[in-house]
Structure 1
Amino acid sequence: MKKLLSLCLLATFLLSGTSVFCQNSNIDLEEKPNIIFIFTDDLGVGDIGVLYQNERKRLGVKSEPWTSTPQLDRMAQEGAILSNHYSAAPVCAPSRASLLTGLSQGHANVRNNQFDKALADNHTMANVLQKAGYNTAAIGKWGLQGDKRWSKDGDAWPGHPNKRGFDYFYGYMRHKDGHEHYPHEGVYRGAKSVYENEREITSGLNKCFTGDLWTAIAKKWITDQVKEDEKPFFMFLAYDTPHAVLELPTQAYPKGGGLNGGVQWIGKEGEMINTASGEVDSYVHDEYARATYDDDRDETTAEVPWPDTYKRYATGVRRIDDGVGDIIQLLKDLDIDDNTMIVFSSDNGPSKESYLPKGYVSYRPDFFNSFGEFDGIKRDVLEGGVRVPLIVRWPKKIKANSVVDMPSISYDWLPTFTDAAGIPGPAIIDGVSLLPSLTGSGKQRESLVYVEYQNNGKTPKYEEFSPKNRNRVRKEMQMIRKGDLIGLRYNIGNVDDDFEIYDIVNDPQQSKDLAQQDEEMQALNGWMKDRVLQIRRPDTSAARPYDSAVVPAVNVKKKKGLLYKSFAGNFPWLPEMVSMKEESTGMVKSINDFKLDKKAGNLLLIEGFIEVPEGGEYVFTLSAKEKALMKIHDATIIDADYNYEANDEISAEILLEKGVHPIKIYVQNSGKAKAPIDLQWQGPNFEKAEISGSVLFH
């Protein structure tokens, strides 16, 4: 790789003429890590050896079978475990949307069960890293392409990965296709379609088990990047296993790994990969083929074999484990292991769905306790539905055998990756960089851990679960975490419903509700009710019973005027600025009339409070000379950043309680315009007007 290549020149080239200036004008491209994010489907936090299964094995209770994940265990030993990590949603489509956009379910455009809805045309993990100089690829399951249910374009797939920042795509486009792991044969769910970019290429994939196919194409793409290109790469590798139909591979995982071993891409029609031989849906891992357990919990009776359903599930998990080890070995063989960050996680908690033909025992995640020590499964916002495995390895920066206990969530990874690449993330995102916790360097900001979701089912009544959580009606649900305490609402009727509050460290099953324990907990309940309204925006496609509630005000001491900080730097997006060093600071009395310090940089963060004279609906209208973004509390109200045309007018409505509300406005002001934005509002008893300085405070 070329060293000390100007990032500015690189970005200018990538943006086809857009001028980009960076505070750190010379960055060693070898210092920018390659990034691989491995996302599994319905893999529970309890499915991983080092996180739970190894303890079952150590205890040796024969009525509690266990599985093994030796490669993931080794990855954890060589890197870090994030022991309090969450998915943004308890089901795949919204979980993936939040991960890829850096937005919580209070802001993401894909919510509830909106499968195949197009991912929002905005900043994504891929297009941000693409503009930062990365080659990008998505391999495996997508399901965010958009179809005729969601788009007027019908099957034009407006949310195709190639249109959301990925240079290369190979995998299943449609959500339903991920329910079958042999796309050519369609053993149990019918033949499915695999695409390479926009071209369907299923016809030559005879006997290709997707767990192997995605690994093989991932290895090929990584190898090609190292051999043919000087740029760092980002890969989103999304396995469709172990979820849905529990199909088996054709044979044992090939020995070795990396360049010369493991699964290999052959590229020959009918023999695309080196495991496209043998018998389809046939191989059970040797460790599980003859496994037995004490089914009746009576040591005086003989043990019985595991039902085939669970041999299949365990083999599927082990196959992912083998693939991860294979990819890590490839990084070593290519001599890029030291500076490649590889992250392993899951989209949500374990599922009870298996889609196997009649005659098979129905799959239940309580056989292996895939939910670990928690209650709940996929589609629950109880811990078992949203607490997910997270292992990250980056030998150059992350110490071996690290454990990060700080709560975190999947939409933290976008700003983590931009931070690792040496640039600030977009201002619109809800996540924070986890790099300080991972590397032990810098100040770690607190993550916003928040989930909202709707489902008409019930929590299973497994005996491992607390009695209060068995057969629990779900419907509208919310979860928010503050420190060691979890706020939980199920079957929400209206905005006034109380949160249940649990000490998740000492009560992982959420069995003892502390909400009415004392005045402190009652005050926390009130804070949670307010907070969940201050961090989200309603979406008409996923209506909630609290959408029509006014956003609560805050009680603060205040002084006239808003404060600003200015920063230097040109980026392809409005940066979040928190991690940047300011050029100057000052105060503005009017949002539309700036008087800046002569040293002011070309980026501004204006913040303070706006006093609302009466509760009700307010309409804010903004136009910008360049770019701008406005937040009230932590809800993004107006986005005049992504694909924004200068001077376009954008309006947004919000219901506000009478009183004082925090406001933040991010502004690009390269031309040092006296009035880089025009912001006006309209309220219950007044027409559209400029916001008076008399209602602005800091």
Structure 2
Amino acid sequence: MKKNYNLSLSLLLFFILLTPVFAEKEEKPNIIFILVDDLGYGDIGVFFQNERKAQNDRSEPWIMTPMLDKMAKEGAMLTDHYTAAPVCAPSRASILMGVNQGHAHVRNNQFDKEIGENYTIADILKTVGYETIAIGKWGLQGKGEAPNWPAHPLKKGFDHYFGYIRHADGHEHYPVEGIYRGSKEVYDGYEIVAGLEKSYTGDLFTAKAKNYIISHQEENSEQPFFMYLAYDTPHAVLELPTQEYPSGGGLNGGMKWLGTPGEMTNTASGEVDSFIYPEFANATYDHDKDPDTPEIAWPLTYQRYATVNRRIDDQVGDLLQLLKDLNIAENTLVIFTSDNGPSTESYLPKEYMKYTPEFFNNFADFDGIKRDVYEGGLRTATIAFWPNHIKAGTVITSPSISYDWMPTFADVSGASAPIRTDGVSLLPSLTGKGKQEPSQIYVEYSQNGKLPDYAEFLEAHRNRKRGQMQMIRKGNMVGVRYDIQNQLDDFEIYDVSKDSHQGDNLANQKSELQEEFKSSVLRRRIADLDAPRPYDTSLVPALKGLKVKEGLLATSYQVSSEFIPSALGKAISEKVVNLPGVEGENGNLVVWTGYINVPESGKYTFSADREQSHFFMRIHDIAVIDGNYKIADSAEGSVYMEAGYHPVKIYLMKNDKSAKLKLSWQFEDKPKEVISPDFWFR
């Protein structure tokens, strides 16, 4: 008995000692980020289409998405989630870089521009041991000769890449037999993939994603993976699959990667651009809104659109089933979202009816579509799935935005998001644990078109010129500006929790919020010469009514990340100093917090001279100097400021004890000078 007791005790102690190891493994789940192209908020059943069906108005056709509905039922719906930009390239850049459009390198319609020299989500997750793979549409590679683009995914933190590099290639959903612009190039890493006849891209990317996950679990299941799965559908050419979706799903059916040239997947056969789901091919509707006249068949254009959407639904369901079959669903966080609102693009031959989102009301109960900053262009139907971590049936109504995913994934994985990020972790909202920090929701964009003249939109919005636009949200209040001429232009202000169409402008009742919005948009962005704005040289307002003391608060930390992180942990020491300097500071990271007193209104160019150290400077929420990605001896940035006090945070990560720092500024065209202690306050 004594021997058995000792054996039992030994086993108990053994498993207790092992527990932290298992716990640590569980803290690093696999992450799959599914991004679809131009899917409207109103395209998904649980977000809108199910309501249309329930109303049973035969003049208002509907689309069903059973797999995505199931995903939402088993996970969480984010009803107030926004995209960072209402068009694909800048939207994707903000997602991958974790910054708003006022800090992104890719803005407006800068398709195929390089994503920028900074950390991506993939870079961040690799620091804590993730294997990273990007599949699908990229469009952020920059100029250069193929395949050696400066911002190829393999140069931006991804270990593997398979998909369309160029933006326009994603307009075709058959790489070989494209009906709009002909054949396009799919890359596997740096190599062009041959033998893609009859390969419908949605199926191709799904099969490749499944193949990677299966192989990873067979060969390297101990290592977590991050997958950026960027479909090119339903955007652009409404091309149809070759055949019905293969029965089953996961390990036991659905899409399969065969890898044989000419037969890459199990649907790379049959007739190109041919299959329409029977429920859509046979669907009729009350076209003239007269129940006494016979219904007619859906136009082929809309049969096509519904099929493409339903195909996405099958593809996502197939992937989720695979996770369950492999017993990794509970350790895999899956996010499903879109890059922007619905589009009018269909790129079909002339004999087809032009596509309009009015047929299915893909914009749901909102006004605006792709390229608009009203809710219909920015609000994206988003679903999070993570069994045993996200409670089934969760509905998250707090506002969030797509650049929140970088800090969220960092939080989930135990990584550090860089100090540059404009996002916050959504983990508290997803899991119901901890306090959710409010998201900083801000969008800027410019486009020369107009809002569509749709009957479902408010008359005041129809045919409205877009031009320079901004959107900002605080709580339930959203500020919107169209065709901005200068910084003095007022925001329209709406309570979007009660006014989805944004018709009741509360600007006259919200004068304080008006001024706050005007100040806030200047305090969270920096000018970009490639995307000029009419407010680029507007003065960032100083803070009023402050009571300050001389000096800055210097706080020291010891951090283990390779760069300055956004989450710093517990401070080692704090003291008041008369100017930023690293001599005698503890830890390897010093943060100086306080205010800078700007003596004159105008343009200030700040420069930081330091010896091979990571550096970052933020004034208000403006990333004025970012020297965190590439270590250099100096860095600079310019900002227009009103005379007075402006909050400042200065970060320096010391590489060794000999590190030094010298901060200088230049006002307008005057000589550059070191910022003296006379201008620093706390």
Secondary structure of the residue that 1:121 maps to in structure 2? Answer: coil
Pairing partner for 2:604 from 618, 633, 636: 618
Q: Secondary structure at the match of 1:650?
A: strand
Aligned with residue 589 of structure 2, among 603, 626, 636: 603
Q: Retained in 1: the 8 A contact 2:442–2:471?
A: yes
Aligned partner letter, 1:235? M
Distance between the aligned counterparts of 1:350 and 1:292, measured in 2? 23
1:643 matched to which residue of 2?
630
Residue 304 of structure 2: aligned partner: 312
Match of 2:315 in 1: 323
Is 2:564 the counterpart of 1:574? yes
Q: How far apart in 2 are the matches of 1:684 and 1:260?
A: 67
Cα distance in 2, alignment partners of residues 4 and 371 from structure 1: 53
Amino acid corresponding to residue 574 of structure 1 in structure 2 = I
Task: Tell me if 1:697 matches 2:664.
Answer: no
Q: Secondary structure at the match of 2:139?
A: coil
Give the counterpart of 1:64 among 60, 67, 71: 60
Deviations 1:540-585 (A, max 9, x none): 101111111111111222222212332222212210135x222332
Residue deviations 1:311-330, cap 9 Å, x none? 11011011111011100111
Please tell me whether the aligned partners of residues 610 and 660 of structure 2 are also in contact (alpha carbons under 8 angstroms). Answer: yes
The within-5 A match list for 1:448-459 is 448-459=440-451
Q: Which residue of 1 aligns with 2:663?
A: 679
Q: Which moved more, 1:28-37 or 1:69-78?
A: 28-37
Q: 1:542 to 1:5 in 2, by over 3 A?
A: farther
- Residue 488 of structure 2 corresponds to 496
- 1:528 and 1:76 map into 2 onto residues whose CA distance is 34
Partner of 2:515: 526
Partner of 2:8: none
Match of 1:540 among 525, 529, 532: 529
Provide the C-alpha distance between the structure 1 equivalents of 2:36 and 2:17, rounded to a whole number of angstroms.
36
The AA in structure 2 aligned to 1:160 is H
TM-fit CA distance, 1:589: 1.7
Query: What residue is the counterpart of 2:431 in the other structure?
Result: 439
Q: Quote the offset at 1:422 in angstroms.
A: 1.3
Q: Is the 8 A contact 1:588 1:594 kept in 2?
A: no
CA displacement, residues 430-459 of structure 1 (integer Å, 9 cap, x when unaligned): 111111111111221111111111111000
Q: Distance in 1 between matches of 2:668 and 2:101?
A: 29
Amino acid aligned to 1:538: A
Q: Distance in 2 between matches of 1:350 and 1:143?
A: 19
Of 235, 251, 254, 1:259 maps to: 251
Counterpart for residue 553 of structure 2: 563
Task: Return the letter of the residue paired with 1:541.
Answer: D
- 1:594 CA drift (Å): 4.8
- Code of the residue aligned with 2:95 in structure 1: it is L
Q: Is the Cα–Cα contact under 8 Å of residues 611 and 696 in structure 1 kept in the other structure?
A: yes
SS of residue paired to 1:644: strand
Q: What residue in structure 2 maps to residue 16 of structure 1?
A: none
Q: What is residue 87 of structure 1 aligned with on the other side?
A: 83
Tell whether the 8 Å contact from 1:162 to 1:169 is kept in structure 2 after alignment: yes
CA shift at 1:590, angstroms? 1.3
CA distance in 2, matches of 1:67, 1:680: 59
Structure 1 match to 2:209:
218
Query: What secondary structure sits across from 1:655 in the alignment?
Result: strand
Q: Which is further off, 314-323 or 685-694?
A: 685-694
Contact 1:266 1:274 in 2 (8 A): yes
The answer to whether 1:130 aligns with 2:126 is yes
Contact 2:148 2:190 in 1 (8 A): no
Whether 1:204 aligns to 2:190 is: no
CA root-mean-square deviation: 1.9
Q: Is contact 2:127–2:415 with CA below 8 Å preserved after alignment?
A: no
Normalization by structure 1: what TM-score?
A: 0.93
Cα offset, 1:586, TM superposition:
2.5
Show the 5 A alignment for 1:38-117: 38-117=34-113
Q: Which moved more, 1:437-446 or 1:104-113?
A: 437-446
Superposed displacement of residue 409, structure 1: 0.4
**Aligned-pair distance for 1:155?**
6.6
Gaps of 5+ in 2: 1-14
CA offsets per residue over residues 148-186 of structure 1, 9 Å max, x none? 5xxxx6873101000001110000010111111011112
**In structure 1, C-alpha distance between the alignment counterparts of 2:61 and 2:17, rounded to whole Å:** 54
Partner of 2:140: 144
Q: Over residues 298-352 of structure 1, what are the superposed CA-to-partner deviations in whole Å (9 max), with x where a residue is unaligned? A: 1111111100111110110111110111001111111111010000000000000
For 2:204 and 2:615, how far apart are their aligned partners in 1? 43
Does the CA contact (< 8 Å) of 1:29 and 1:231 recur in 2? no
1:5–1:29: 8 Å Cα contact kept in structure 2? no
Structure 1: unaligned runs, 5 residues or longer: 7-23
Dislocated runs of 4+, deviation >3 Å:
3-6, 24-27, 153-156, 593-596, 670-673, 684-687
Change in CA separation of 1:181 and 1:402 when aligned onto 2, cut-off 3 Å: same
Paired amino acid for 1:304: I
- Alpha-carbon distance change, 571 to 183 in structure 1, aligned in 2, over 3 angstroms: same
Mapping of 1:352-371 within 5 angstroms? 352-371=344-363
The Cα of 1:593 is off from its aligned counterpart by: 5.7
Contact kept in structure 2, 1:608 and 1:662, CA below 8 Å? yes
Distance in 2 between the 1:593 and 1:220 partners? 51
Distance 1:451 1:367 in 2: 28
Asked if 1:653 is matched to 2:643, the reply is no
- Alignment check: 8 A CA contact 1:5 1:28 kept: no
The answer to whether the 8 Å contact 1:667/1:676 transfers is no
1:213-254 CA-to-partner distances (Å, cap 9, x unmatched) read: 000000001111111112100000000001101011111101
Q: Distance in 1 between matches of 2:452 and 2:383?
A: 28
| Identical aligned residues as a percent | 55
CA contact 2:552–2:578 (8 Å) conserved in 1? yes
Give 3-state SS (helix, strand or coil) of 1:581's partner. coil
Check whether the contact 1:624–1:640 (CA below 8 A) recurs between aligned residues. no
When residues 5 and 588 of structure 1 are mapped into structure 2, their CA distance, relative to the original with a 3 A threshold, is: farther
1:12 alignment partner in structure 2? none
Does structure 2 retain, via aligned residues, the 8 Å contact 1:183–1:210? yes
Whichever residue aligns with residue 386 of structure 2, its letter is: W
Q: Hey, what's the Cα distance between the residues in 2 that align with 1:473 and 1:506?
A: 25
Q: Distance in 2 between matches of 1:284 and 1:138?
A: 29
Equivalent residue letter for 2:565: P
Confirm whether residue 630 of structure 1 aligns to residue 617 of structure 2: yes
Secondary structure (helix, strand or coil) at the match of 1:618 reads strand
SS in structure 2 opposite 1:694?
helix
SS of the equivalent of 1:204 reads: coil
Aligned pair partner of 2:231 in 236, 239, 243:
239
Deviation of residue 410 (structure 1)?
0.3
Task: For 1:168 and 1:337, locate their aligned partners in 2 and report how far apart those are by CA, in whole Å.
Answer: 22
- Matched AA of 1:147: K
Residue-by-residue CA offset, 1:346-379 (whole Å, 9 max, x unaligned): 0000000100001111000011000011000000
Q: Deviations over 1:18-74 (max 9, x none)?
A: xxxxxx999723430100000000000000000000010111111110001111001
Counterpart contact for 1:618–1:684, Cα < 8 Å: yes
Query: Counterpart of 1:689 in structure 2: which amino acid?
Result: E
SS in 1 for 2:448: strand
